[in-house]
């Protein structure tokens, strides 16, 4: 374990799976988080002393530089789905990404950056635009960086399937924003972690990789899948984009909003792997990773939402 990797956002949903994959591969992992005292759940993912947590605030470059000292590789898995307080898209997705990449470049470390499918400097979505700016800053500082763009990510602690399963538990209706026609290519969090590992170990060529699962599903199909797994019957109500936008103007002020105006904008575009990425091999398959099917994992954790209270086997590691 003489190889050290620093993972920013290591205590988050995607970050903890990356930490586990790195630890299994024999890396010594330093998880750079805002609250190290709340990252104790990471240590059991490795052997004694293999995983440690250090304090780092991405708004303060000095703390970022200290977190990458001695690191052979750096992973940035920090991201937000909506803005709250000082957590703004520009600060987290763009400026912070540049700060981490510059720190990695200063110590000569490999760089892996987790972005998002749909990142586009010309997008009408602030989320997508700032993701694109973050990518630009990363590549400017570390030209050899590996950038991962996953579609919506599923796994035991995900924020999409768990959210709608919990809503279906108490609500008689589920909204189909834009008629539920938006296409997604859900990718398993464990596969994203495997891709990050390849970037850290240098077996992935520099560039941008678009990560999607083996199936393309519409928003409506995903909601029906959730209802089938949880054994619930709910009314799916089409919600035109203009109506959804008006509702989101109010909902965005909730502590954990179900929908924001920017998310409504995102839902107007498909979230699937591009033909260009497929042709150039910049996909999971191109990395030698077989994408995990939704139904091989979803029942294992959505089962707890079943009316009978049945639980399934844990998901594959």
Q: What is the pLDDT of residues 235-273, one digit of tens each?
A: 999 999 999 999 999 999 888 888 999 999 999 999 999
Helix (H, G, I), strand (E, B) or coil at 239: strand
Q: Write out pLDDT tens, residues 5-19.
A: 999 999 999 999 999
Domain boundaries, the chain: 4-155+186-214+271-289
Name the one residue in this structure whose structure tokens are 């709250």: 84
Q: How crowded is residue 185: how many other Cβ atoms within 10 Å of its Cβ?
A: 21
Mean pLDDT of the chain: 94
CATH architecture of 4-155+186-214+271-289: 3-Layer(aba) Sandwich (3.40)
Residues counted in the chain? 317
- Say what the pLDDT of residue 313 is: 42
pLDDT at 109 over 50: yes
Q: Is the pLDDT of residue 315 over 50?
A: no
Q: How confident is the model at residue 62 (pLDDT cuts 50, 70, 90)?
A: very high
Q: What is the distance between the alpha carbons of residues 91 and 85, in angstroms, rounded to a whole number?
A: 11
* pLDDT for 308: 54
| CB atoms near residue 312 (< 10 Å) | 15
Q: State residue 311's pLDDT score.
A: 40
Per-residue pLDDT tens for 145-172? 999 999 999 999 999 999 999 999 999 9
Check residue 309 and give its pLDDT: 43
């Amino acid at each position: 374990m003489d190889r050290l990797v620093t993972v920013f956002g290591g205590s988050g949903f995607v970050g903890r799976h990356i930490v586990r994959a790195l630890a299994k591969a024999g890396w010594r992992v330093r998880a750079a988080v805002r609250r190290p005292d709340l990252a104790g759940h990471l240590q059991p993912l490795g052997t004694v002393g293999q995983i440690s947590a250090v304090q780092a605030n991405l708004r303060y470059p000095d703390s970022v530089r200290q977190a990458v000292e001695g690191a052979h590789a750096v992973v940035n898995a920090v991201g937000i789905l909506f803005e709250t307080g000082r957590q703004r898209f520009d600060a987290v997705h763009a400026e912070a990404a540049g700060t981490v990449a510059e720190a990695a470049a200063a110590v000569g470390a490999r760089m892996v950056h987790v972005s998002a499918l749909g990142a586009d400097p010309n997008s009408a979505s602030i989320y997508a635009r700032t993701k694109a700016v973050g990518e630009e800053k990363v590549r400017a500082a570390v030209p050899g960086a590996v950038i991962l763009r996953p579609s919506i990510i599923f796994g035991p602690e995900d924020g999409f399937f768990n959210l709608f399963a919990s809503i279906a538990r108490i609500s008689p209706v589920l909204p189909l924003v834009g008629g539920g026609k938006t296409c997604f290519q859900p990718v398993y969090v464990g596969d994203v972690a495997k891709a990050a590992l390849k970037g850290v170990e240098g077996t992935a060529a520099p560039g941008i990789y678009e990560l999607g699962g083996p199936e393309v599903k519409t928003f409506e199909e995903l909601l029906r899948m959730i209802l089938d797994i949880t054994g619930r019957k709910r009314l799916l109500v089409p919600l035109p984009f203009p109506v959804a936008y008006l509702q989101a103007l109010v909902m965005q002020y909730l502590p954990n909003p179900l929908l924001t105006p920017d998310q409504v904008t995102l839902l107007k575009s498909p979230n699937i792997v591009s033909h260009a990425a497929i042709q150039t091999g910049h996909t999971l398959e191109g990395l030698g990773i077989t994408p995990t099917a939704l139904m091989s994992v979803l029942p294992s954790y959505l089962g707890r939402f079943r009316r009978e209270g049945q639980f399934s086997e844990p998901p594959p590691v």
